Structure 1
Amino acid sequence: MADSAAVLLWRAYVPRWAHAPLSGEGAARFGGRWNPVGGQTIYAARELSTAWAEYNQGFVQHPALIAQLELRYARLADLTKPETLAAFGVTAEIHRCEWRDALDRGLVPETHRLQAELAARGFDGLVCPSFMSPGGTCVALWCWNAGEGAELKVVDPEGRLPKTPASWL
């Protein structure tokens, strides 16, 4: 059962997409740890510092727009818990999956296999430890704002985010 209590998340994303804070198009275009190419996914963090670390991936500090998101009614598999991992037949090793290398070799990464299984079982996303910020946690969400189920909105009380890409012209 999904929880109706709001889960606050932080998302750092490319400023060019300021008008679309709830888009999963970037992840769909390039693929990610928890999504294959073509699978729209929102990657966010439970902590602001984790969002920043994950966005930059430990490399050059790129410009970013940081937005707070509010998630409700999501059915999330909490992969930070050993019992959840065991229920899906995986161990904490899944968090060290070399997904990019697997893709480069034409293989399906274990993280993508598990994501497909979770989606088939009705999960909207998952919670996992941050790869870039020890102690931090991230959420990968592949189903949101599609009728019943996970509801995701950006926290923008003063309406400061642009509504169209025209702000960049």
Structure 2
Amino acid sequence: MPEISLTLWRAFVPRWAHLPLSGEGAAHFSGRWNPIGASTIYAARELSTAWAEYNQGFVQHPALIAQLELSGARLADLTDAAMLSELAMTAGIHQCEWRDMLDQGLVPETHKLRDRLLADGVNGVIYPSFMSPGGTCVALWRWNEDGAPRLEVVDPDRRLPKSPASWL
């Protein structure tokens, strides 16, 4: 799998503006592509998709939207039928009822695939947006550590706060 670079968009709760690359929200609550305890960055390849995914079709909550630059990432593109076939998967993986499975004490297929891909040195996945038809998202499991891809927030004027003190 070749290393790729992407521009991504991430919408998140403004209170965490000082930690745009933490992934701790996903670690705390779990997600489609990560179990509890596993930091994960969820972002979108399109700004409109980031907004739709953040709100999940519900009330429009305030959000901070940041542009991210990802470089040197090994991502499994699960929007590509050939990649799915290579992984012995089908497009059905995108309909995985991961929340229901977790509620039943089961391990979702998306989490099993994550474990398999991580073991193969893959840093994350590209997958179709559930909330924005035609949009694509990225779940990134490794970033900004030795041997991992680089993920940078685009903030040329240094407007993002450096601590939570800005919210007090």
Q: TM-score range by the shorter chain?
A: over 0.9
What residue in structure 1 maps to residue 85 of structure 2?
86
Q: Which amino acid aligns with 2:148?
A: G
Instruction: Give secondary structure in 2 for the equivalent of 1:100.
Output: helix
TM-score, with structure 2 as normaliser: 0.98
Where do residues 101-112 of structure 1 align in structure 2 (5 Å cutoff)?
A: 101-112=100-111
The residue type equivalent to 1:133 in the other structure is S
CA offsets 1:102-153 (integer angstroms, 9 cap, x no match): 0000000000000110111000111000010000000000000012231000
Corresponding letter in the other structure for 1:23: S
Match of 1:96 in 2: 95
Q: Which amino acid aligns with 1:95?
A: H
Are 1:156 and 2:155 matched, yes or no? yes
User: Displacement, 1:20?
Assistant: 0.4
Pairing 1:2–2:7 present = no
Amino acid at match of 2:39: Q
TM-score normalised per structure 1 = 0.97
Q: Secondary structure at the match of 1:73?
A: strand
Moved over 2 A (4+): none
CA distance in 1, matches of 2:19, 2:148: 20
Name stretches of at least 5 consecutive residues in structure 1 with no aligned partner: none
Q: CA deviation at 1:61?
A: 0.6
Task: Quote the Cα distance in structure 2 between the aligned partners of 1:37 and 1:149.
Answer: 21
How far apart, in 2, do the equivalents of 1:149 and 1:42 lie? 13
* Whole-Å separation in 1 of the counterparts to 2:130 and 2:107: 20
User: In the alignment, what sits opposite 1:19?
Assistant: 18
- Indicate the SS of the match to 2:73: coil
User: Match of 2:139?
Assistant: 140
Q: % of aligned pairs identical?
A: 70
Deviations for 1:25-53, whole angstroms, at most 9, x for unmatched residues?
00000000000000100000000000000
Aligned length: 167
Query: Take 2:128 and 2:155, find their aligned partners in 1: how far apart are those partners?
Result: 27
Rounded Cα–Cα distance in structure 2 between residues aligned with 1:166 and 1:85 = 45
Secondary structure of the residue that 2:76 maps to in structure 1? strand
Q: AA paired with 2:66?
A: A
